[in-house]
Amino acid sequence: MNLFVLLKTVPDTVEELTVAADNKSLDAEWLRFKLSDADEHAVEQALLLKERAGGKLTVVALDAPELDDSLFTVLAKGADRVVKLAGDLGNLQSFSAAALFAAFLKGEADPPPADTLILLRSQAMDDLEGEIGPVLADCLGLPYVGVVTGVQPDGGTVTVTKEFAGGLRGEFALPTPAVLGIQSAEKPPRYVPIAKVRAAMKSAALETVDVTPPEAGARFPIEKMYKPEAAGRAEMLEGSPEEVADRLVELLAQQSLI
C-alpha cells in the first residue's frame, strides 16, 4: 500500500499553560510540543497496515520545536521516509495546515495511486477552527471518515470502524484513495527502545521541504484567552495520605456510601 501519515504537534498540557501578554494566545516561551495521542495512534495504525499489506509508509510532519526526536522514533518504528514541512508556520490554523498537506500530497502524485491511504489524527484539542482531515480530503477530492478505530483494506476499498457514542460503533466502506481520521489504532502504540531510535538518527535522515503557508490569516478574531475561573472548584483535602484517607472515609460515611 501507499501509506501516508500526517503529523502536527500540540502543546503538552501536562505543562503549565500560560496566556501571553496579548491575552489572545498561549505564551510560546512556556510551551512544550508533543505529538497528540491520536497522532501516535495514526502512526501505529499505518505501521499495522504496512505489516499486513506491505508497501511504503511516508510520514509528513509540520515542523515544530523539539519535533525531530519524535520523527526519528517514527523511523525506528518502521516508517520508510519522513518529511518535514518547514517554514514560517507560526500559529498555523487547521485550514492552512490542510492546504500545506494537500499541496505536498499533490506534488507526490496527482491523482494518488489507487492503493493510497492517508492517515492523520481525527482531531486535536487545538483545532479551534475545525479539523484538518475532512478539509484536506475535500481539497484532494477524496472520501473521508473520522473517529476511526479500525481499518481493513481490501482491493480498491477499505472498511473502517467509526466510533459513535456509548460504545456503539459503525462500519463504513469507502473507495481508495481515501483519507482517514484515526482516533485509536487497533493496538496500543508500540514501544521502541531508545537504542533503535539512536540507530535511526545515525543511519537515516529527515527530509525537509520548505513551504509557505497560505495567506489565510485569522478567520475570526479571538477576543481573549483565559484560564477557567477558580469558582466552583473542589474543596481540597490536605494532609498525609493517612489524614486524607480518614477524611474521605468520613465523607463517604456521611453520604452512606460505605
Partner 1 sequence: MSKGILILAEHLKGELSDITFEMLGAGRTLADALGAPLHVALVGRGSAGLASRLGAADKVFVVDKPELELPPAATMAAVLGSLIEKQQESLVLVGWTNLAMGVGSVLSARSGLPLVNFARALRVEDGAVVVTSQLFGGKIFSDVRLADGRGIVSVSSGAFPADAGRSEKAPAVEAVDVAVEAPKITFKKYVEPAAGDVDITKQTTLVAVGRGIQTQDNISMAEELAEALGGAVCGSRPVIDQGWLPLTRQVGKSGMSVKPRLYLALGISGAPEHVEGMQGSQMIVAVNTDAKAPIFDVAQYGVCADALEILPVLTEKIKARHG
Ligand X SMILES: Nc1ncnc2c1ncn2[C@@H]1O[C@H](COP(=O)(O)O)[C@@H](O)[C@H]1O
Residue ranges binding ligand X (CB under 6 A): 134, 144-147, 162
Site for partner 1 in 13-32 (CB under 8 A): 13-14, 16-17, 19, 26
Backbone phi and psi for residue 172, each to the nearest 5 degrees, phi listed first: -125, 145
The C-alpha cell at 116 is 493510497
Closest-CA residue to 56 (of 39, 75, 79): 79
Considering CB under 6 A, how many residues would be counted as binding ligand FAD? Answer: 4
Q: State yes or no: residue 93 binds ligand FAD (CB under 6 A).
A: no
Signed CA dihedral, 45, 99, 218, 27: sign only: positive
164 binds partner 1 (CB under 8 A): yes
**Min separation Cβ 61 and partner 1, Å:** 20
> With contact defined as beta carbons under 8 Å apart, do 172 and 159 qualify?
yes
246 binds, among ligand X, partner 1, ligand FAD, none (CB under 5 to 8 A by kind): partner 1
CA dist 185 and 150 (Å) reads 7
Distance (Å, whole) CA 174 – CA 159? 7
As measured in angstroms, the least distance from the Cβ of 216 to ligand FAD is 23
* CA dist., res. 132 & res. 36, Å (int): 14
HSE, CB side, 13 Å, CA atoms: give it for residue 150. Answer: 11
Contact 48, 148 (CB under 8 A): no
Q: Tell me, residue by residue from 108 to 127, as one string, x for binding to ligand FAD by CB under 6 A and - for no binding.
A: ---------------x----
Could you tell me which residues come within 8 angstroms of residue 205 by beta carbon, excluding any fewer than 6 positions away?
Answer: none
Candidates 34, 49, 183, 211; binder of partner 1 (CB under 8 A) is 183
Apex CA 184: angle with CA 197 and CA 139, to 5°? 95
State the binding partner of 202 from ligand X, partner 1, ligand FAD, none, CB within 5 to 8 A by kind.
none
- Contact region with partner 1 (CB under 8 A), list: 83-91, 154-162, 190-198, 206-214: 154-162
With CB under 8 A as the contact rule, the residue among 63, 95, 97, 119 that binds partner 1 is: 95
233 binds, among ligand FAD, partner 1, ligand X, none (CB under 5 to 8 A by kind): partner 1
Residues in 205-234 that interact with partner 1 by CB under 8 A: 219-228, 232-234
9 is a contact residue toward ligand FAD (CB under 6 A): no
Min dist CB 161 to ligand X, Å, is 11
Q: Work out the widest C-alpha separation in the chain, in whole angstroms.
A: 67
Q: Name the site residues for ligand FAD (rule: CB under 6 A).
A: 37, 123, 147, 183
